[in-house]
Amino acid sequence: MSSVTSPSLHRRIVHGLGRQILSGKLRPGQPLPIPAGVHASRTALREAIKVLTAKGLVEARPRLGTRVRPRDAWQLLDPDVLTWQHDGPARLEFLRQLTEFREVIEPAAAAFAARRATASDINTIERAYADMASAASHDRVQLAKFVAADRRFHSAIVRASGNDLLGQMGHTVFSALVLSFRATTQRPGAARGSLPRHRAILEAIKRRKPNEARRAMLKLMGHTAIEVKKLDAKKDRGQALGNGRASS
């Protein structure tokens, strides 16, 4: 297979156009451009358009060509779309909305887990917590390991809820949580500071206390929202400094 029709080219086209749409560079109603360098591979472009159509981002109409669809048609919980939202200029707004979404899903999942978790479920949650604590125990937090363990912790709780719909929804959203965890734990002390809140959730589930588990998860979500606001404040300070330098 030639390079112009390779799967890697197909993926590059999908991700390139997807990011342009989610960033606002390509706006609803605009025709989809042909990316530079792919004129020789109409097959790869057609396949990429099929993928973007399935994600609700574009639609093809006779005589009008392929155009960007309105935002309310986008599959916002699609793993790729979640990632493109995080990479876009509205990243902080996306993190805020993701945190709100988690505030709806995860406290309920923690309460159900406290009622229904098996011994194996609890063991999985405990191992994830232990890995988080280990990654945070070094002089310098091993952020990648902490984030991976953090995701396993939350995923295990949703699975332990015993609700297949919650589990499937959680699986979809957790594809973006690595990005959220990395953003909200990179501030010095944030990762270590979150450990007691995670521990409280674990202990409530182990003691079969649904209301405590729900409250503990809500508390953690509240602190996550605070970390997102700090990122927003940091962005505002950076813009103010940039404007000050520009005007000096």
pLDDT in tens, 97-135: 888 888 989 999 999 999 999 999 999 999 999 999 999
- Does an H or E element contain 59, and which? strand 58-61
pTM given for the model:
0.78
The domain that holds 29 is classified in CATH as 1.10.10.10
Which run of H or E residues covers position 65? strand 65-68
Determine, yes or no, domain membership for 83.
no
The tens digit of pLDDT for each residue in 162-209 reads: 999 888 877 777 766 666 666 666 666 888 999 999 999 999 999 999
The identity of residue 37, as a single letter, is G
- The verdict on 67 and 96 lying in the same domain is no
Domain match, 174 and 241 both: yes
Say if residue 148 is in the same domain as residue 238.
Answer: yes
